[in-house]
Chain A
Amino acid sequence: MTAVALAWRRAPVSLVAGVVILAALAVCALAPGLIAPYDPLAFDYGALLQPPSAPHPFGTDQFGRDILSRTIAAATVDLQIAIFATLGPLVIGAIVGLLVGYYGGLADAVFGRLVDLVVTFPFLVLVIAIVAVLGPGLSNMYIAIGVVGWVFYARLMRAEVMVLRGQDYVSAAKVLGYPERRILLRHILPNAARPILVYWMTDMALAILLGSSLGYLGLGAQPPTAEWGVLIADGKNFFSQAWWITVFPGAAIVLCGMGFSLFGDGLADLMDVRR
């Protein structure tokens, strides 16, 4: 108990704020039915395009669906996007970056050219092209982001590992005759993990934006699934008379992005051993 209390007190403010936001979103994502006042898919022709009011705090859309309930329900899909679109790139990128950075040589040269190739194309265009080939839908979107996204993690990891492999404590581990697997996993990986984990947090926020963009373009989540980008796309035709359909899901995206960013900043502080 005291250890938890101590950790909490030492935790950076940004970490606490990030945790609070993400926890709230996680509750929405895991149990939307408990919080949402209405069924997100239920039509109510008696309450079309209602502005925010006591029964409908975020208003309703052109079918009378409750925007608050739809925004909450969308958290499930969007957090899923945040995690599934980034977890693969994180793991693959970390492993490739670790090996390429430590061993160098031909693999590193090949990797360097690959990075050059990938960064010359705008990320979004590349992803859209791949989704267009594979066909729209969430799982194809994950594949498309994964195919391109791991390169950025690997590049970050490689740069960090290249600095660390020259550190004296890594030399000391070699002189002590430690096996290479141990050197990589115990002496390099934990010290190289900070930038990539912080980037992961930012990337989750970016993945939601990307997912929303693709949803908006009709390439990601398919209607009637509630997804923040899809909700915004739905509302765009009514923006002049019913701003709330677009603004509240938009605010949810911003809030979620802030949650990840704050958590990432806090994590960076927390992982600084000299603190």
Chain B
Amino acid sequence: MKDGALLQVENLTKAFPLGRSLADALRGRPQRALQALGGVSLSVNRGETLGVVGESGCGKSTLARCLVRLYEPDCGAVRFEGKDVLGLTGEARRSYHRRVQMVFQDPYASLNPRLSVGDALAEALTVHRIVEPSATRDRVGALLDLVHLPRDAADRYPHEFSGGQRQRVGIARALAVEPSVIIADEPVSALDVSVQAQVVNLFLELQDRLGLSLVFITHDLRLVRHVSHRLAVMYLGKVVETGDTEAVFTAPRHPYTRALIAAVPQVDPHQRSTREAVRGELPSPIAPPPGCPFHPRCPIAEPRCRTEVPALDRRHGGWPVACHLAGAPST
């Protein structure tokens, strides 16, 4: 399966150093750091959607930004079509950017307020010489068609659009350079439910029409089930479980995945429960707990969970899970 992977991430780590107080420096304490990614490995196949879910501080946005090289990871590798991309510079780096694009969370912050929609799209086309200059206007129109915006949107400015429409512009801009992979970082979490559905459907449709690979990063489990073929669940900078979406949802192997699924408010009032899905708070990524990061909140933790870090592997067959106590998959 890994041979077919279009985008491959291996053991990626990224820490953000925090300011050190003078008192700490004098006492010789080491500089503290926020460990955002603690060795993440995953792969994205051609034409598939990988859903990445997790709560705040799990590192999912850092992962997205490392993939498009907005952040430089500390260790590990990102490979695109088998070739390492972290060392790319100049023209090679630019052509990587053409292949792997990003859609951002906040539709109000991700568009330059001083560029009309047409100018923003034309810029992407011109910089990468996607079409002849004379054909730019036609291609801008075609891109707007693709994301179901009227063609006259080209002459308007971002503030004239609603959140959902702006997100469509953001998608069109990413598509302008004809990428093979789109990294979507919480692309609909700023939108209302009814509009969210419009944008999610657009992603599904575009993927089918253009054969895109999609990394869909979200905190919304209800949504991720609708869009992704495969799923990676992250907790405190690590992937704790990854597998086929339906399999994971039907029979989650990691206790955190189980808790996450149980915590989602169900629209069906008959499924109401009064029991908390999981106790405790999210630990701070500045001082992650030793052993399994989930052990302080885990209902089934054993002594070794407190000391031994579980590796992400296919224990007892089935899909990869990072839990000492995972049994054979029940399906």
Are A and B in direct contact (Cβ within 8 Å)? yes
State A236–B327 Cα separation when bound (angstroms).
97
| CB of A187 within 8 Å of the partner chain | yes
| CB of B111 within 8 Å of the partner chain | yes
| CB of A190 within 8 Å of the partner chain | yes
> Which residues of B are found within 8 Å of A190, using beta-carbon distances?
114
Q: Which of B97-105, B221-229, B272-280, B293-301 is near enough to bind chain A?
A: B97-105
Contact A168 B110 (CB under 8 A): yes
Contact B97 A175 (CB under 8 A): yes
Known: A172-B104, A175-B97, A186-B115. 4 other contacts (CB 8 A): A168-B110, A172-B111, A176-B127, A273-B159
1/0 contact string of A219-252 vs chain B (CB within 8 Å): 0000000000000000000000000000000000
1/0 contact string of B96-132 vs chain A (CB within 8 Å): 1110011011100111111100000001100110000
> Which residues of B are found within 8 Å of A274, using beta-carbon distances?
113, 159
A249-272 residues with Cβ-Cβ distance < 8 A to B are none
> Which residues of A are found within 8 Å of B128, using beta-carbon distances?
176-177
> Which residues of A are found within 8 Å of B93, using beta-carbon distances?
177
Contact B173 A172 (CB under 8 A): yes
Closest to A274 in B: B159
22 contacts between A and B (CB under 8 A): A168-B104, A168-B105, A168-B106, A169-B110, A171-B110, A172-B102, A172-B104, A172-B173, A175-B69, A175-B101, A176-B97, A176-B127, A177-B94, A177-B98, A177-B128, A177-B177, A178-B123, A179-B127, A186-B115, A187-B112, A273-B114, A274-B159
1/0 contact string of A188-216 vs chain B (CB within 8 Å): 00110000000000000000000000000
Contact B70 A175 (CB under 8 A): yes
Contact of B112 among A174, A175, A177, A191 (CB under 8 A): A191
> Which residues of B are found within 8 Å of A174, using beta-carbon distances?
70
Closest to B100 in A: A175
B166-192 residues with Cβ-Cβ distance < 8 A to A are 170, 173, 177
1/0 contact string of A156-188 vs chain B (CB within 8 Å): 000000000001110111111111001000110
| CB of B68 within 8 Å of the partner chain | yes
| CB of B157 within 8 Å of the partner chain | yes
- With A171-B104, A177-B127, A182-B127 as given contacts, are A273 and B113 in contact (CB-CB < 8 Å)? yes
The 10 closest A-B pairs by CB, nearest first: A177-B97, A168-B110, A177-B94, A168-B109, A168-B104, A169-B112, A273-B113, A175-B68, A175-B102, A190-B114
Number of interface residues of A (CB under 8 A): 19
> Which residues of B are found within 8 Å of A173, using beta-carbon distances?
112
Closest to A275 in B: B159
Contact A176 B101 (CB under 8 A): yes
> Which residues of B are found within 8 Å of A168, using beta-carbon distances?
104-106, 109-110
> Which residues of B are found within 8 Å of A169, using beta-carbon distances?
109-113
1/0 contact string of B48-73 vs chain A (CB within 8 Å): 00000000000000000100111000
Closest to B102 in A: A175
1/0 contact string of B75-100 vs chain A (CB within 8 Å): 00000000000000000011111100
Contact A171 B94 (CB under 8 A): no
State A168–B106 Cα separation when bound (angstroms).
8
Number of interface residues of B (CB under 8 A): 31
Name the residue among A176, A182, A191 with the largest chain B CB count within 10 angstroms.
Answer: A176
Name the residue among A171, A172, A182, A273 with the largest chain B CB count within 10 angstroms.
Answer: A172
Closest to A178 in B: B127
> Which residues of A are found within 8 Å of B110, using beta-carbon distances?
168-169, 171-172
In the assembled complex, the CB of B221 is this many whole angstroms from the nearest CB of chain A, namely 24
State A90–B292 Cα separation when bound (angstroms).
56
> Which residues of A are found within 8 Å of B115, using beta-carbon distances?
186
State A177–B177 Cα separation when bound (angstroms).
10
Closest to B159 in A: A274
Closest to B177 in A: A176
Contact B124 A176 (CB under 8 A): yes
State A167–B108 Cα separation when bound (angstroms).
10
Contact B127 A191 (CB under 8 A): no
Contact A172 B127 (CB under 8 A): no
> Which residues of A are found within 8 Å of B173, using beta-carbon distances?
172, 176
Closest to B94 in A: A177
Closest to B91 in A: A177
State A172–B157 Cα separation when bound (angstroms).
17
State A92–B65 Cα separation when bound (angstroms).
34
Closest to B68 in A: A175
In the assembled complex, the CB of B12 is this many whole angstroms from the nearest CB of chain A, namely 18
State A171–B157 Cα separation when bound (angstroms).
19
In the assembled complex, the CB of B178 is this many whole angstroms from the nearest CB of chain A, namely 12
In the assembled complex, the CB of B188 is this many whole angstroms from the nearest CB of chain A, namely 15
In the assembled complex, the CB of A263 is this many whole angstroms from the nearest CB of chain B, namely 21
> Which residues of A are found within 8 Å of B127, using beta-carbon distances?
176-179, 182
State A191–B65 Cα separation when bound (angstroms).
23
In the assembled complex, the CB of B156 is this many whole angstroms from the nearest CB of chain A, namely 12
> Which residues of A are found within 8 Å of B106, using beta-carbon distances?
168
